[in-house]
């Protein structure tokens, strides 16, 4: 997990909030337009978007059950998005990927011989997270900040349209600014998604 160097007392989410505030020109601590809680929500939304195109890749060693093709993965593959592949038997050359069936928290190997309690390798994806640390590379920080800033600006514009004594021109500027950032954000996500799809383990 790559988190990069931090100043004393700083965390990944604190760094990201600061980056988003800089993009939004909202750095006057005496008159913030967005609270930390609001920006955190927008950051988490941008991270969720990132997860949909390039999730955290995890490889877990899971023991099979002797005499059964079914494996309980409830405690191993938590908060998973998708099981990508199952290597079984393990450490063969070329690599052997077993067909499988997934239902709820049970993974069933569709193999001829019953497993004997030996290990299998489960390749799966998990949604990215950000808090004290972050699960995605710091090289994607600017992209996440871009998306979060876009979401924050559009939300503020939407909020402004429902209130009196709010400058309509300012609302329109926030709307256009936010939409342009989100357009750029989604275009970059598509590029990442295309790269990820070319790296699938097997067909």
| Residues whose CB falls within 8 Å of the CB of residue 145, separated by 6 or more in sequence, listed in order | 16, 19, 20, 23, 43, 46
The whole-angstrom separation of Cα 111 and Cα 115 is 9
Average per-residue pLDDT in the chain?
Answer: 90
Residue 5 has what pLDDT?
A: 40
Domain ranges of the chain: 12-53+130-197, 56-126
The residues with which 71 forms a beta bridge, in sequence order, are 107
Least confident of 120-134, 150-164, 168-182: 150-164
- φ/ψ of 166, rounded to 5, equals -115, 130
Checking if the pLDDT of 165 tops 90, the result is: no
Residue 193 has what pLDDT?
A: 86
Summarize the confidence of residues 185-197 as an average pLDDT.
88
Checking if the pLDDT of 3 tops 80, the result is: no
Residue 179, CB-side half-sphere exposure with 13 Å CA sphere: 8
- For 10-66, write each residue's pLDDT tens digit: 799 999 999 999 999 999 999 999 999 999 999 999 999 999 999 999 999 999 999
The whole-angstrom separation of Cα 60 and Cα 124 is 8
């Amino acid at each position: 997990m790559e988190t990069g160097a931090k100043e004393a007392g700083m965390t990944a989410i604190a760094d990201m909030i600061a980056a988003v505030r800089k993009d939004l020109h909202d750095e006057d601590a005496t008159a913030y337009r967005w609270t930390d809680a609001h920006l955190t929500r927008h950051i988490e939304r941008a991270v969720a978007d990132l997860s949909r195109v390039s999730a955290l890749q995890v490889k877990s060693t899971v023991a099979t059950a002797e005499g059964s093709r079914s494996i309980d993965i409830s405690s191993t593959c938590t908060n998973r998005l998708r099981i990508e592949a199952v290597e079984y038997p393990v450490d063969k050359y070329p690599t052997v990927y077993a067909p499988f069936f997934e239902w709820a928290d049970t993974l069933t190997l569709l193999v001829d011989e019953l497993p004997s309690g030996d290990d299998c390798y489960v390749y799966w994806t998990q949604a990215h997270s950000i808090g004290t640390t972050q699960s995605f590379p710091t090289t994607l920080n600017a992209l996440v900040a871009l998306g979060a800033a876009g979401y924050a600006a559009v939300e503020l514009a939407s909020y402004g349209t429902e209130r009196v004594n709010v400058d309509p021109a300012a609302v329109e500027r926030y709307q256009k600014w936010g939409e342009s950032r989100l357009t750029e954000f989604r275009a970059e996500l598509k590029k990442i998604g295309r790269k990820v799809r070319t790296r699938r383990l097997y067909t």
